Amino acid sequence: MAGRRYITDLNTPFFSVDEDDVDDETFLRHSKSGSSGYVLPNTSYCQEKSALEDKRLQLLERKKEIEDRTVQSSERSISLLRDSEQIGVATAEELIRQREQLERTEKRLDDINNALRFSQKHIQGIKSVFGSLKNYLSGKSGEQVPGPSLKQPDDSSSSFGTTATSSPLASTVNSSKANLGSTNENHPGLKIRGLSGDHDTWSQPDTSSGNNVNKVIDRNLEDMCSSLSRLKGLAQGLGEEIDTQNEVLDRLNDKTDKADFTILRQNKEMNKLLKK
């Protein structure tokens, strides 16, 4: 092709040196595209810019979807944690009431055992009187055996240790109830169910700004940490309360056996006295 010559007829209006010749600056400013030679200025740049803008919008939309899912997931976690905390508080309150009943039962058993000790002294006195009468009637009455002095036994009930109302579990329950009460209006579960006190419909948090999303997530994480801490305290308190009540049940079992044995023994002694 280097040997070919292109003839330009200067007299023909279809050939003009001024129109066909391209200077260096114009050539460098134009971009080559395929076999067409040159394209219109800025066309490729506009297309590339539009593609980048579409990609940027897609990434922003994707980012917003991830942020929304993260916020919703944290809200659901808070709702589940608070529901678990409410169940733990209800269980703890039931255990506290149960402990109060066990303590009252133990107190009654102590009263029963004290009364049985007092009645045993009465039985011993009756046996002494019957023995003296028998000796007197049989002509072998010597010195009268004085009956035992009947003293009211000490009404000393066993130490209950820490009462139910002053137990560590009770203070933990009060703390959890106070926190649940203060955050009840903002409970996400109640908002979703339409049970919040403000009667406003629940809506998604404003995630139009990255800072707002970070603040919402940080606040939710703080609430989750607080709920987990209270749940841990409730779990420890429930475990300690169950151990304490097991000890009370063991004492109740021993005192019940003691009262049952004493009653059986006294019945046998009274039957022997009545047969004489």
The per-residue pLDDT for 221 is: 92
Residue 260 and residue 113: Cα distance in Å, rounded?
A: 9
The secondary element (H helix, E strand) that includes residue 125 is: helix 43-137
| Amino acid 203: pLDDT | 44
The pLDDT value given to residue 28: 59
Closest CA to 237 of 37, 25, 85: 85
- Output the pLDDT for position 27: 58
Number of C-beta neighbours around residue 168 at 10 A: 14
| Alpha-carbon gap, residue 237 to 231, rounded angstroms | 10
pLDDT along the chain (276 residues), means of 10: 50 52 59 48 72 87 90 92 91 92 94 92 82 74 46 46 64 74 51 41 48 88 91 91 94 94 90 77
Residue 270 and residue 127: Cα distance in Å, rounded?
9
Residue 102 is predicted with a pLDDT of: 94
The reported pLDDT for the residue numbered 56 is: 86
| Cα angle 250, 252, 254; round to 5 | 70
Contact 164, 99 (CB under 8 A): yes
The two most distant CA atoms of the chain are separated, in Å, by 179
CA gap 1, 234 in Å, rounded: 93
Residue 126 has a pLDDT of 82
3-state SS assignment for residue 38 = strand
The identity of residue 88, as a single letter, is G
Q: Which amino acid is at 40?
A: L
Task: Let me know the angle formed at the C-alpha of 57 by 52 and 61, rounded to the nearest 5 degrees.
Answer: 150
CA distance 160 to 109: 13
Give the Cα separation of 52 and 44 in Å (integer). Answer: 12
pLDDT of residue 153: 43
